[in-house]
Structure formats: C-alpha cells, structure tokens
C-alpha cells in the first residue's frame, strides 16, 4: 500500500479564513474555519477591506491549527492548494501569499483551485467518489451557476445568474425582513413554520430553455410586498412593472415588516424560499435533461437550505439520478473541498508557478 498524499488547502476568497489537511482527495484530517460574520454583521454584508484585514490577522493561526489538528508535520505535506479565483481580490491575495510562502519554504508544489469548482467537489469529502458525468448546481452568496462536469477537473458552464446570486437574494430579503446577516439560516428557520403558498412570488425562468438565473425581480417583489410600491404609497399613480403590480395586488402588501405578525413573517419567508427553490429545481432538471447526466451535484452555501435539500432529493428520485449534496460543514466555504480537488490536479501534474495571480471574476 502506498503512503497517503496529504494536501494543505487554503481558502480566503470571501469572509472565512479556512485551512484544511486532506488525504488522497477524500479523507479530511482537519478542517478549520475562522468566520468573520461578527465583523460584517452590522453592515448587513461583507465589507472587502475589513475582510482582507481579518484574513491577514487569522491566516497564520488557522494554518497552524489545521496542521496541528491533522497531527501532521509540515514535512508530510505533498502540496499546498489555494483558491486564487473568483472572490474578493484583497481577500484572495492574503490566502495566495500564505500558500506561496508555505510552498516555497517547504519546497512542495503549489496548486491553484477555483472556488466554485471546489464547491462542486465538496460532496466527495469524507464520502465516496463522485460518479461522472454530473450536472452541478452551485448556489452560494456570490455565485449561482450550472455546470456539466465530465471529471472533477473537466467542465463546461451551462448557465449562470444574470444579476443576483441565490444566496445574495436570501441575504437581501433577510435584510428587508430585519432577520440579520447572513440571511439564509434565519429565513430557513422562519420558513419551517410558514405556508409556502401564502404569497404568490414570481419565478423568473428567462424563457423555456434558458439555464441562466435571475433573482433581482423576486427580491424587488418582496421589497414591494413588505414596504409597498413607492409611487402608490404616496398616493400617486405610477406605471408599475410586473413585480410591483403583483405585490400591490396581494393582501397585507405595504404594511412594513414591523406590522407583520410572527405567522405572516413565517409565511413571507416560506413563500420567498419556495420561489427560489422552485427556480433552482427547474433549472437543474433542465440541465440534467440537456446533459443526460445520471449524477446531480448541489453545492455552495444555499445547499444548506432545508427546503432545497428536500426538493433536490425529490428531483433526483424522479429523474432516477444519484444526488450528491455535501454534509453541512462542506456546504459553506471551507478549505477541505479545496485540498480535496487539488489532489486531482496534482495527480495530473497541473501545478502552478510561484508567480500565480488572483482573479476576482471568472466566467467559464
């Protein structure tokens, strides 16, 4: 039997400083995540400058703790993997510098990993290998996209959001509802007590065959439902768009969230969530049909959503596909998925030079 290959993964693309040690692309020896949520909470979203500063303060300790918990000496690490795209540029650069330094000092290869592709590999962490080809839906705070994966490394983009990401819609709607940041978990909790059919929010499908997404109309519909349509509130008549017309036609519209009863809040959360889940489900079904994939992958922070997990399990059942959705700790940003995916790049000889750069955005 050959010795296991240990890879140290580093992830700092947004507001989590994360390091992990993974053996042979699957076995997670440590998975350390330092969250910055408390720092960004009062701003209702991630402040890039605060994020990069916090990464600088955390990175050395997080890396040391990942090695410590894995009970692995640095000399056993075969490669250092780092997310270099996409993400907040200042945040990415902190992880990148740490990874380059470690790779140089330990004299091991550096492996560049795309954050979104790592989310699509997350279901393989502490679990069986993923069977390819697969249709993958990645929905997080910064990204919502569909891919066809032919292997962990070979993929084609099928569609992506033309405005907000699904997680961003959760965060913004939670802000409208005064539920705090990040918005996914409190909406998920509130929705459990609510009636998902109480309010008829729009499901934007962008045409019968499109694999792109749009969530900004839904967000506006919630805003109008809660606070009223701007022109109408002041008693003036205005030419209203479809979101406004629909919102103003509904019972309870425009009362302000402070006047909603707990049941009405729950109904609002459940109805909004159902609109997002319906769209994600319909689009993944289209992608599965188009690609003929027998494996469905769902990843990214929104994959933690209870209603989404149930809807995707049901979809996979109906399509006779295998659903691969990560266990909770691997839905949200983490470095285990990064070190895991890097194993395949390392085996294929796809390593990076020490002058590797970072990219804030990628469309492929």
The one segment of 79-87, 190-198, 221-229, 325-333 that binds Zn ion by CB under 5 A? 325-333
Q: How many CB atoms lie within 10 A of CB 32?
A: 23
Q: Which residue has tokens 């040690």?
A: 21
Q: Measured from the CB of residue 49, what is the shortest distance to Zn ion in angstroms?
A: 20
Of ligand KG4, Zn ion, none, which one sits near residue 305, judging by CB under 5 to 8 A according to partner kind? ligand KG4
Q: Does 91 bind Zn ion (CB under 5 A)?
A: no
Decide if 220 contacts 167 (C-beta within 8 A).
no
User: In the complex with ligand KG4, which residue's Cβ is closer, 14 or 70?
Assistant: 14
* Distance from C-alpha of 199 to C-alpha of 220, rounded to nearest angstrom: 14
Cβ of residue 170: shortest distance to ligand KG4, in angstroms?
A: 4
What mask, x for binding ligand KG4 by CB under 6 A, covers residues 220 to 259? Answer: ----------------------------------------
Least distance between ligand KG4 and beta carbon 143 (Å): 6
Which SS3 state, helix, strand or coil, does residue 330 take?
helix
Using DSSP, state whether 167 is helix, strand or coil: helix
Residue 171 in contact with ligand KG4, rule: CB under 6 A: yes
Binding of Zn ion by 171 (CB under 5 A):
no
The structure tokens 């895991």 sit at 340
Distances (CA, A) of 132 to 92, 205, 253, 294, 364: 29, 27, 47, 8, 19
Question: Which one of 58-66, 88-96, 181-189, 355-363 is the stretch in contact with ligand KG4 (CB under 6 A)?
Answer: 181-189
Q: Say if strands 27-35 and 16-23 run parallel, antiparallel, or are unpaired.
A: antiparallel
Residues within window 121-140 making contact with ligand KG4, judged by CB under 6 A: 140
Number of residues that bind Zn ion (CB under 5 A): 2
Instruction: Decide: helix, strand or coil at residue 146.
Output: strand
Among 114, 140, 273, 305, binds Zn ion (CB under 5 A): 140
Partner from Zn ion, ligand KG4, none contacting 304, C-beta within 5 to 8 A by type: ligand KG4
Q: How far is the CB of 15 from Zn ion (least distance, A)?
A: 10
Q: Which of 83, 326, 333, 351 binds Zn ion (CB under 5 A)?
A: 333
How many angstroms separate the CA atoms of 202 and 305, rounded? 20
Q: Of the listed pieces 4-12, 55-63, 163-171, 242-250, which binds ligand KG4 according to CB under 6 A?
A: 163-171
For helices 306-319 and 184-191, give the axis angle rounded to 10 degrees.
80
Dist. CA 85–CA 48, nearest whole Å? 15
Q: Are 181 and 174 in contact (CB under 8 A)?
A: yes
- Selected binder of ligand KG4 within 164, 212, 267, 333 (CB under 6 A): 333
Separation of alpha carbons 240 and 248, rounded Å: 9
* Residue 141 within binding range of ligand KG4, rule CB under 6 A: yes
Mapped onto helix, strand or coil, the DSSP state of residue 143 is coil
Which residues in this chain contact ligand KG4 in the complex, by CB under 6 A?
14, 140-142, 167, 170-171, 182-185, 188, 300-302, 304-305, 332-333
Which residues in this chain contact Zn ion in the complex, by CB under 5 A?
140, 333
């Amino acid at each position: 039997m050959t010795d296991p290959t240990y890879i140290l993964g580093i992830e700092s693309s947004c507001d989590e400083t994360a390091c992990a040690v993974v053996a042979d692309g699957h076995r997670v020896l440590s998975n350390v995540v330092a969250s910055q949520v408390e720092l960004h909470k009062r701003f209702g979203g991630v402040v890039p400058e605060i994020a990069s500063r916090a990464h600088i303060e955390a990175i050395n300790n997080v890396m040391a703790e990942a090695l410590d918990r894995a009970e692995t000496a640095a000399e056993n690490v075969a490669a250092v993997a780092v997310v270099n795209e996409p993400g907040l540029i200042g945040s990415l650069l902190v992880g990148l510098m740490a990874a380059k330094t470690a790779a140089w000092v330990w004299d091991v290869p550096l492996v560049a990993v795309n954050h979104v592709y790592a989310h699509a590999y997350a279901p393989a962490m502490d679990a069986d290998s993923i069977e390819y080809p697969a249709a993958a839906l990645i929905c997080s705070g910064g990204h919502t996209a569909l891919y066809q994966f032919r292997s962990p490394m070979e993929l084609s983009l099928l569609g992506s959001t033309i405005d907000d990401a699904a997680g961003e819609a959760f965060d913004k709607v939670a802000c409208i509802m005064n539920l705090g940041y990040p918005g996914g978990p409190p909406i998920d909790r509130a929705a459990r007590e609510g009636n998902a059919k109480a309010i008829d929010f729009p499901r934007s499908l962008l045409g019968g065959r499109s694999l792109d997404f749009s969530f900004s109309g839904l967000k506006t519909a919630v805003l109008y439902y809660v606070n009223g349509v701007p022109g109408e509130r002041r008693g003036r008549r205005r030419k209203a768009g479809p979101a406004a017309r629909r919102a103003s036609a509904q019972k309870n519209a425009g009362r302000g969230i402070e006047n909603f009863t707990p049941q009405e809040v729950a109904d609002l959360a459940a109805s909004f969530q159902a609109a997002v889940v319906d769209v994600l489900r319909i689009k993944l079904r289209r992608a599965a049909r188009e690609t003929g994939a027998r494996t469905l992958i769902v990843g990214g922070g929104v994959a933690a959503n209870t209603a989404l997990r149930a809807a995707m399990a049901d979809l996979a059942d109906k399509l006779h596909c295998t659903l691969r959705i990560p266990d909770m700790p691997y839905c949200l940003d983490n470095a285990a998925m990064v070190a895991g995916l890097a194993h395949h790049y390392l085996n294929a000889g796809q390593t990076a030079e020490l002058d590797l750069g970072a990219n804030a955005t990628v469309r492929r």
